[in-house]
Amino acid sequence: MSRGFVTLAIILLFSNLILGALSGSFIKDFDITWGDQHVTMLNNGKLLTLSLDQSSGSGFKSKNEYLFGKIDMQIKLVPGNSAGVVTAYYLSSIGATHDEIDLEFLGNMSGQPYILHTNIFTQGQGNREQQFYLWFDPTANFHTYSILWNPQLIAFYVDGTPIRVFRNLESKGIPYANNQTMRLYGSIWDAEDWATQGGRVKTNWTAAPFTSSFKNYKANACVWSSTKGKSSCKPESASTPKFQWLSQELDSSTQETMKSIRQQYIAYDYCLDNNRFPQGLPLECTITS
């Protein structure tokens, strides 16, 4: 066997180990966590649907745990009158001081826009809600919703357009999600007590079952190994194209695009809610960067 062939084999093996979580199958990469009878997998595990009726909702979680990553998921939401129904897609660790990065799609009455509810928990502390009206019908086609989580920032994207950034401000005394591994979760559940118009509009169970669909999951991420006590992706790899996300920032053009989206479509921002924080806004809201 030639030295060149051996070298190539080693490179390919290393690439497969590092990129094993890049794109995957719901059958191979996820476990059903609840509501088994309300979960359907199609196209050899490339498409997954979650349903909700009065008996149960449903959900899944990734088998892998991640410490930083760029996660993409294409989702098609519940059509028609979905008031009270929440479809969720999020990263979370476990425990009382958990970290969490949330995307929750709040159902609506027919003809009203869906609201994308985002939140970030660090060391068990949340209350960082921002909500956005989606500028398209998310029930007609699949759209891509992404989470970028690296040592510098957490960013939310819709079809490649950033809508929110939470920066690492540990130097200012603000906790950041950088030392707890997280799994990826998806679920559909009844939240009629708060999801639609603050709970004023309840779930119409005559329209059940409510179904959301997920496909084209991709995790360009650092996979944590509990046996080795480390991640399979190291920060020093950030200089290579495969790991650009690990040091990714938003350039000035991207920030301008995000600013425009936020001006047009933001529905709620905790950093603007002085009534909620009479003693003063959270510290991260007062820091400009």
Catalogue the active-site residues: 100, 104
Question: Which among 86, 73, 76 is positioned nearest to 115, based on CA atoms?
Answer: 86
* Whole-angstrom distance, CA of residue 269 vs CA of residue 286: 13
* Whole-angstrom distance, CA of residue 111 vs CA of residue 117: 19
| DSSP code of residue 23 | B
* Whole-angstrom distance, CA of residue 187 vs CA of residue 207: 19
* Whole-angstrom distance, CA of residue 134 vs CA of residue 85: 16
Peptide bond between residue 209 and the one before it cis (omega within 30 degrees of 0): yes
Bridge partners (DSSP) of residue 167 are 153
The contacts of residue 153 (CB under 8 Å, 6+ apart) are 165, 166, 167, 168, 249, 250
Written as one letter, the residue type at 201 is V
Q: Which two tokens stand for residue 108?
A: 């609506």
Q: Which two tokens stand for residue 91?
A: 């990263």
